[in-house]
Chains A and B, each alone.
Chain A
Amino acid sequence: MAIEVRMPQLGLTMDEGQIARWMVAVGDKVRQGQPLAEIQTDKITAELESPGEGIIRHILVKEGDSCAVAGLVAVITAPGEDYSPAPAQEGPLPPRAARSTLATRMAEESPSAAGRHRASPNARRLARNQGINLDRIAAGSGAGGRIVGSDLKGASDTPPAKATPLARRVAAAAGVDLDRVPGSGKGGQITREDIERAQAASGPPPFEVIPLTGVRGVIAARMADSAHSAAAVTLTTEADATELAGLRDRLSTRDAEGAEARVPFDAILVKLVSAALRDHVNLNARLIENEIHVMKDVNIAVAVDTQRGLLSPVVKRADTKSILQIADELATLVGRARSGKSQPEDLEGGTFTITNLGMHEIDAFTPIINPPQCGVLGVGRICPRPVVTGDSLAIRQTVWLSLTFDHRMVDGAPAARFLQCVKRFVENPEEQLGPLGKAAV
């Protein structure tokens, strides 16, 4: 009895996965639970385990290619069992509207999608089964120009190059033959950059190409979405951080060898900001289509710089945890993010984001909102600065706080009051909130 190996769903929002690497080949004997492949999703890498024992008979998705969740990626049979001919790769499942990812939403809204061809259910079924891109078919022969099944005849015999609509236009204008251009896009799709590279093909290109895929692609899509849709306003204020630094020193401990385990400022800030959000719930919100969702839990996303790009692991219900609990949790989350082993749930559910560039000697900056969240707090470096107290100058530890918020969801004055509250908590953390390190507040 043949065993079908299908693309697993590794997170609620996962629609498709890429086979980053096959760890077995056709003909290999495999046992149940053995890793077969590395799967790359938008944010994480995971191993695809064998659902049973047998011989790998067919591999249907090439390394680097993507496949819809539940799509067939390989077939395992018993030794000697006949399983031929090779099954056609199954196409993506019908998309579930509720699960449309940001990237697909953007693709749907892009100008090239506006002129999408009409195609009959029969044509779509055939295209799905034969891996034909309906964009390739110039005009349908059905009623009103609808693409019908017979228009696909021949399309699968000599599959023409896959290319984005923009690349097609650029290629047509420049007279570049798409069949001679290697694609660097998703699934080998030819992009505009590929065409431009092909045009300048007389010598090696004067640049290195980094495809906008994986984490980079998600960041690009999210940041563009944020920049295009949010009505972002940034407020800044300088807070006295002397007490904060003192609190950090008191919470830090030394082990037997005298090595110091320092509680990171981020952990303290997560606590203070989550407490402030409890008092200013309008900032703990998301904008979903035409609704503002004021979130019941305070889940703080913390921006983390990793080799693969920016990731934002989330401390769930941070307002109910002590600083030391948050510090422990953050250490685990950041460790997983930096080693590329984040679990899907690590990165989901954030209601507000904190981003800290203090370690890079940045004083203040204008952070960008992580949609659909309402706000993000940028934290600069904490260092001694001259401060006017009364009629004299003093040297105090201070920090610049920058709050970017989405003016669609909340107005300037309430946002300012929230930032004021954060400033007050930063300046007198324990006076405002009690002994923060010890127990949940």
Chain B
Amino acid sequence: MSLISYSQAIRDALREEMRRDPTLILIGEDIGTHGGAFGVTRGLLAEFGQARVIDTPISEAAIAGAAVGASVAGLRPVAEIMYMDFITLAMDQIVNQAAKMRYMFGGKAHVPMVIRTPGGGAGRGNAAQHMQSLEAWFCHVPGLKVIMPSTPHDAKGLLKSAIRDDNPVIFIEHKLLYAIKGEVPETEYTIPIGSADIKRHGTDATVVATSRMVHHALQTAEALTADGISIEVVDPRTLVPLDIELICESVRRTHAAVVVHEAPRRGGYGAEIAAQIQSEAFDWLDAPVGRVCGADVPIPFARSLEAAAIPSPESIAAGVRDTLGR
């Protein structure tokens, strides 16, 4: 095991996969010379050259479109969209082309591409157009897989699986997680897409949290032990496909569930998770499934309002207490 950052875990995954597979290319804005807006691809241009680490003009549609074309033509591209907010410009390529081709060509074409993009990030003061969490849009599109890792270990293992997958995968990173460090095996490993992970065991309530909210939930769990409330923290890790079996296995033990994400509550993926919990584990629930989510507002620029617009360890604790009535 070695202690490395989330961004290094992603870089290591890219490097190892590029060494393993000569058809793998990287494509995106400022990923070569500059090493990426968040430094994730730093050093890869030097090792693999311009043919495989491709800087593009500022056009998200071109990045996604080139990735779709390259993947259909036999390459295995990993595209980077600098901020998830900018992915709106690539939606037609992702939704109407990447997600559909394998189906519409009856399996004769496949689209083994990954789009890496950092979402969320409230806390950086980047305001409404640079901090959104848009994962629910992609979860809603059949034909896409959606991954949202919360730790260096999960990011590396899941990115390798995403790259090796023959379908388009939206791989959502988090700006405020790039610097966190975690234990990562030095030997080769992958994490299967569609497997959730229990980040902390507990008995009184299951908190299903994604991405950075996993870390908030772990802080909440620590704080609530003082009051004798024991929380189990489940990280779905991949939203599509969702490991509802593990989530419900946990809920059947704790009899309560609270879903947490940074994205706005309305139409958020937490609603889907809550709905699946109630249909799969209704008879084990002691309370309605709680949701602690972002506010239904554009992320404010003012720091005080920004802090109020996304879940905190304290608001998660309040949500758990509401659900438990304690």
Contact = CB atoms under 8 A, between A and B. Distances in A.
B325 A144 contact: yes
Nearest to A144: B325
Interface string A137-171: 00001111110111000000000000000000000
Given A141-B325, A143-B324, A148 B286 contact: yes
A332 B227 CA distance: 73
B188 interface: no
B325 A123 contact: no
A121 B285 contact: yes
A142 B283 contact: no
B138 to A, nearest CB: 32
Contacts of B282: 121
Contacts of A100: none
Decide if the interface of chain A is mainly helix, strand, loop or mixed: helix
Given A122-B255, A148-B255, A149-B255, A143 B284 contact: no
B21 interface: no
Interface string B252-286: 00010000000000000000000000000011111
Given A148-B255, A149-B255, A125 B283 contact: yes
A334 B323 CA distance: 60
A143 B323 contact: yes
A143 B322 contact: yes
A120 B284 CA distance: 8
B286 A146 contact: yes
A150 B323 CA distance: 14
B287 interface: yes
* Most-contacted residue by chain B among A141, A142, A146 (CB, 10 A): A142
A122 B283 contact: yes
B287 A142 contact: yes
Contacts of A125: 283-284
A142 B282 CA distance: 16
Interface in B51-82: none
B287 A146 contact: yes
A145 B286 CA distance: 11
A341 to B, nearest CB: 40
A141 B322 CA distance: 12
Max chain B C-beta neighbours (<10 A), residue from A122, A145, A146, A150: A122
Chain B, interface residues (CB within 8 Å), range: 10 to 19
Contacts of A142: 286-287, 324-325
Contact of A148 (B283, B287, B322): B287
Contacts of A141: 325
Contacts of A145: 325
Interface residues of A, number: 15
Nearest to A123: B286
A122 B325 contact: no
A149 B323 CA distance: 14
Contacts of A149: 255, 286
B258 to A, nearest CB: 12
B297 to A, nearest CB: 27
The interface centre, meaning the residue of A142, A143, A144, A150 with most chain B CB atoms within 10 A of its CB, is A143
A122 B287 CA distance: 9
A343 B283 CA distance: 37
A308 B82 CA distance: 83
Contacts of A122: 255, 283-286
Contacts of B325: 141-146, 148
Contacts of B322: 143
Interface string A334-368: 00000000000000000000000000000000000
Interface string B284-296: 1111000000000
A125 B323 CA distance: 19
Contacts of B324: 142-143
Contacts of A146: 286-287, 325
A142 B255 CA distance: 11
Instruction: With a 10 A CB-CB cut-off, give which of A121, A146, A150 has the most chain B CB atoms.
Output: A121
B285 A120 contact: yes
Contacts of B283: 121-122, 124-125
A123 B283 CA distance: 8
A143 B320 CA distance: 11
B43 to A, nearest CB: 52
A125 B285 CA distance: 10
A144 B284 CA distance: 18
Nearest to A148: B286
Contacts of B285: 120-122
A120 to B, nearest CB: 4
Contacts of B286: 120-123, 142, 146, 148-150
Contacts of B284: 121-122, 125
Contacts of B323: 143
A151 to B, nearest CB: 9
B255 A143 contact: no
A330 B82 CA distance: 87
Nearest to A141: B325
A164 B322 CA distance: 33
A122 B285 CA distance: 5
30 contacts: A120-B255, A120-B286, A120-B287, A121-B283, A121-B285, A121-B286, A122-B283, A122-B284, A122-B285, A122-B286, A123-B286, A124-B283, A125-B283, A125-B284, A142-B286, A142-B287, A142-B324, A142-B325, A143-B287, A143-B322, A143-B323, A143-B324, A143-B325, A144-B325, A146-B286, A146-B325, A148-B286, A148-B287, A148-B325, A150-B286
Given A125-B283, A146-B286, 14 more contacts: A121-B282, A121-B284, A121-B285, A122-B255, A122-B284, A123-B286, A125-B284, A142-B287, A143-B287, A143-B325, A146-B287, A146-B325, A148-B255, A149-B255
Q: Which 9 A-B pairs have the closest CB atoms?
A: A143-B325, A148-B286, A120-B286, A125-B283, A142-B325, A122-B286, A122-B255, A121-B283, A122-B284
